[in-house]
Amino acid sequence: MTNRRFHSAKQIRADVRSSIITGPTTGMAEGYTQANVVILKKEFAFDFLLFCQRNPKACPILEVTNPGEFLIKRTAENADIRTDVPAYRIYEDGVYSKEVDNIVNYWEDDMVAFLLGCSFTFETALMENNIPIRHIEENANVPMYQTNISCDRTEAFSGPLVVSMRPMTAQNAIRATQITSRFPDVHGSPVHIGTPEEIGISDIYSPDFGDPPIIKDGELPVFWACGVTPQAVAMNSKPPLMITHAPGCMFVSDIKDQTLSVL
Amino acid sequence: MTNRRFHSAKQIRADVRSSIITGPTTGMAEGYTQANVVILKKEFAFDFLLFCQRNPKACPILEVTNPGEFLIKRTAENADIRTDVPAYRIYEDGVYSKEVDNIVNYWEDDMVAFLLGCSFTFETALMENNIPIRHIEENANVPMYQTNISCDRTEAFSGPLVVSMRPMTAQNAIRATQITSRFPDVHGSPVHIGTPEEIGISDIYSPDFGDPPIIKDGELPVFWACGVTPQAVAMNSKPPLMITHAPGCMFVSDIKDQTLSVL
């Protein structure tokens, strides 16, 4: 299997477009920001953009296209949102109907694409600061939990905040808070540290999504707002048509992770 | 004249609502964030929200209401955007038609109010760091300039970036960059330092808005994105109806300036 860690984002997108890459993009094009994708018809676009604005930790916006424009202009060059994601999921009236490798035949003239920041970027920054990321060490999926924290709702969109969890020492939790605070466009600082029950998580070893965690003695669970939130919320509101990336199959942008640092 | 520097934001809004205050809010309710106001019909709301998202330095969003909702919920308690601004300006087809002290009779069921961050907040932070602000010392208006920098446009909204300028020593310019970087919701870091001609300003002593500056030997002009930009841009696009605050007559929110600091 080709190691694509040192490929450019552009090369990755070309291989996605020609269906050489059809699965998860984890670990590809190191240093380039990957994005969650949500596509909705214009009718829902104001409400969803407002939802993102009100819930910036869960839904940090990297780019929003003009209605009907399928070319990505701000975060990548020569990118087409209809073909440059390895796998898409189609939701009709909030129900997952199928997975496809491009959406050329689904694209409509009034569709708006939202590219949202993803935790891959801050995990890279944490690892570069010698903070080990357990699920990456274990080659597992990050554990994710539905919380008792309600997102700030809009007319059409509402739902609970979904968080991801990374166990670490107290010292690393402090350093990780500093580091991720510098990256508001990829979820930013943690939303909670320790005491899972306070945010409605009754069993930390039974995540709602992803794999059960391994938590070592002396480690605290540290929780970040998760990019699954906007998809879950959008699904909740049952728009007639919504298209997202398939889990782990992200849009690889030309943005270098480090340029997202605010300080 | 009553000195309202130490009044609470709530008290200021009550006095505005009962028309005791009908002019500029500069210097009132120290430590509370004041906001620029733009009100548009829903038809233009997605496009304007997208414009703000694409131009966050000029248009930092503090709150956006749901269509038709005139009560402010996130940044203030018991606030009504139809009555709690000292003076409003009505623009019809992009043309200023009149100034009114409330908009109860102009409010429509599909209107959306945008509250945008204002430079008062970062000026307070600069002064608390012993950085003198010339136009405040001189009791003048900040000088503002139209630049040759185009905002990132949307379908309906486009136009040049308007900047405000504060002259200061190089040491203060460095410190001011650090401080304002921590306040992205009130214009954030400078957009330019020195060399006015590079951003299309041919005569620094002839601002497009506000008063001509006094620049002392050894001082650099430091430029920040200005809240006049969104109003100018919205006016440009000639929406049938737009309502804004009158210059200097801001909405005084319950947000404490310091809580807007990201680090």
Q: Please name the residue ranges forming H helices in chain B.
A: 9-17, 42-54, 120-128, 134-137, 170-181, 228-236
Cα–Cα dist B35/B230, whole Å: 13
Q: Which of A45, A152, A184 sits opposite B46 (nearest CB)?
A: A45
| Among candidate residues A174, A173, A40, the one with its CA nearest the CA of residue A116 | A40
| Residue spans per domain, chain A | 9-118+234-258, 120-229
Angle, vertex CA B141, rays to CA B137 and CA B147, nearest 5: 120
| Cα Rg of chain B (Å, integer) | 18
CA B220-B224-B227 angle, to 5 degrees, is 145
A147: pLDDT strictly greater than 90: yes
Residues B27-65: pLDDT tens digits? 899 999 999 999 999 999 999 999 999 999 999 999 999
Per-residue pLDDT at B1: 60
For the segment A208-234, what is each residue's pLDDT rounded down to a tens digit?
999 999 999 999 999 999 999 988 888
Topology of domain A9-118+234-258 in CATH is: PSTPO5379-like (3.40.1640)
Measured CA angle at A110 (ends A106, A113), to 5 deg: 75
Considering only the top CATH level, what class is B120-229? Answer: alpha beta
What's the pTM value of the predicted model, to 2 decimals? 0.91
The C-alpha of A100 sits at a distance from chain B's nearest C-alpha, in angstroms, of: 29
Picking from B45, B61, B74, the nearest residue to A46 by CB comes out as B45
Interface test with B, best of A41, A44, A46, A180 (most B CBs within 10 A): A46
Positions of chain B with pLDDT lower than 50, given as ranges:
none
Contact present, A114 and A39 (Cβ < 8 Å): yes
* Mean pLDDT, chain A, whole residue set: 95
CATH code of the domain made up of B9-118+237-257: 3.40.1640.10
Residues of B in contact with A74 (CB under 8 A): 54, 152
Chain B environment of A182 (Cβ under 8 Å): 263
Looking at the predicted structure, is the pLDDT value of residue A237 above 90?
A: no
**Which residues are registered as beta bridge partners of B192?**
B223
pLDDT, position A108: 97
pLDDT exceeds 90 at position A163: yes
| Three-state secondary-structure class, residue B261 | coil
Write the CB contacts of A211 (distance below 8 Å, at least 6 apart in sequence): A135, A138, A140, A141, A142, A143
pLDDT score at B263: 82
Beta strand A88-92 with A241-245 is: antiparallel
**Which among A49, A50, A181 has the least Cβ separation from residue B262?**
A181
pLDDT in tens, A13-31: 999 999 999 999 988 999 9
Size of interface A-B (CB pairs under 8 A): 46
pLDDT confidence of residue A235: 81
A49 and B54 within 8 Å at the Cβ level: the answer is: no
Residues of B in contact with A67 (CB under 8 A): 155
Which pLDDT tens digit goes with each residue over B176-191?
999 999 999 999 999 9
Q: Which residues of A touch B181 (CB under 8 A)?
A: 262-263
CB within 8 Å: A64 and B53: yes
- For the residues A100-122, what does the mean pLDDT come to? 96
pLDDT above 90 (res A57) = yes
**Closest residue of chain B to A263, computed from CA coordinates:** B181
Confidence of residue A1 (pLDDT cuts 50, 70, 90): low
